[in-house]
Structure formats: structure tokens, C-alpha cells
Amino acid sequence: MKIGRVIGRVVSTQKVESLEGVKLLLVQPLDENLQNVGDAIVAADTIQSNVGQLIYYETSKEASRVIETRMNPCDAAIMGIIDDMFVEEKK
């Protein structure tokens, strides 16, 4: 899992059947100090997260399993909303 921040909503009308009704959000990956890492990705959301929230997401096959349709083409999904986090200071 990786940390990310929801930076936008993705609206898509023409999409594959198994993604119908699935909320798609644009997520900016972050490191433990909340600095941007790499480019934003599109992730499926089943837990009603919103723009601005800090979340964690999972990639690969496990991501598609949050959607109830079997065998759907999804490679990133939001797994939870981060309320708080603690990071040990570097020595």
C-alpha cells in the first residue's frame, strides 16, 4: 500500500461494463513526509473518500477485488482514509 492524496474526481461515461457505477478519483502518491512522489494515478473508490483527503491505496490485482464484479479491469483502488499518522524522526 502507498500513501496518497485525492486531488480530483474523474468523470467517465464511456467505460467498460464492469466499471459502471464505480467512483474514480485522481490520486497523487506521497512519501511518508507527504511530499509528492511521481505522477498522479486514477484509482477506484468504494469507501466514499473525497478531494483533499489523505488515503492509502493498493495496486495490482488486489485493487480490483474491492469491486464486486469479478474479473474487472482495475489496477488501483483506495483502501482506506488516513485519520492520523506518526513517523519516527530520522537520526
Partner 1 sequence: MILGKVIGNVVSTVKAKGYESKKILIVQPVDAGGNAKGKSFLAIDAVQAGVGDTVIIIEEGNSARDVIKEKESYTIKTVIAGIVDEVNLQ
**84 binding partner 1? (CB under 8 A):** yes
1 versus 7: smaller Cβ distance to partner 1? 1
Nearest approach in angstroms of CB 25 to partner 1 is 14
Q: How far is the CB of 21 from partner 1 (least distance, A)?
A: 16
34: closest CA among 75, 80, 85? 85
Q: List the interface residues with partner 1, window 33-62 (CB under 8 A).
A: 37, 46-49, 56, 58, 60-62
- Give the CA distances from residue 13 to residues 19, 26, 30, 40, 87, in Å, rounded to whole numbers and listed in that order: 10, 16, 29, 21, 40
Instruction: Rule CB under 8 A: say whether 25 interacts with partner 1.
Output: no
Footprint of partner 1 (CB under 8 A): 1-3, 31-32, 37, 46-49, 56, 58, 60-63, 65-66, 77-88
